[in-house]
Amino acid sequence: MQLSISKWYKILAPRPVVLISTVNIRNNPNAAPFSFVMPCSTEPPLVAFASDPDHHTVKNILETKDFVVNIPSRKLLKQLWTCANDFPYGVSEIKKANLTEEKSIKVKSPKIKECFAHLECKLYKHYRAGDHLLIVGKVLRADIDEKYLLKKQYSITKADPLMHISGTEFGVLGKVIKVR
């Protein structure tokens, strides 16, 4: 059956959802959730995401050339949803959501402390793609909360990352299946 083309992206789901934190030239922080996100190179390490070009996140990245990809657990769903609100420019969604800004090591944009992992990124390239802007960042540093390691390896079941389905629907990982 043919599906309405305007809703096609609902079937490419669930997708990882991340909080992207930035600062503007006056050093005011911003954070917003994105689920049009993917890794796109291993060496150099590059991550891509797509955003409405008028979004404060894009404005800040084009001004200050860096951002942090913060990865939230299931328990941060309410805070993530608060960050999706359209607060006035310059207002910190991080504070509005009662989350904690933490200084990054390699970039000006702050990390969100409560997220279990952080990718500190420098703007690498950006391209217009239809009604979105495709932003590619180079990962300068990746950090993970030690609580989510098992035998020194990242444990996805411990971290329990959030995924976006559509609208107000989110999902979490169910069964893990191994091939062979």
Residues 151-170 that bind its own copies (CB under 8 A): 154, 156, 159, 161, 163, 165, 168-170
Count the neighbouring beta carbons within 10 Å of the beta carbon of residue 14. 16
At its nearest, how many Å lie between its own copies and the CB of residue 7? 8
Q: Which is nearer to its own copies, 6 or 26 (CB)?
A: 6
Among the listed residues 20, 23, 32, 47, the single contact to its own copies using CB under 8 A: 47
> Rule CB under 8 A: is residue 117 a binding residue for its own copies?
yes
> Rule CB under 8 A: is residue 130 a binding residue for its own copies?
yes
136 vs 148: CA distance, rounded Å: 27
> Rule CB under 8 A: is residue 112 a binding residue for its own copies?
no
57 vs 16: CA distance, rounded Å: 18
Count the neighbouring beta carbons within 10 Å of the beta carbon of residue 16. 16
Q: Are 74 and 163 in contact (CB under 8 A)?
A: no
Among the listed residues 18, 23, 31, 83, the single contact to its own copies using CB under 8 A: 18
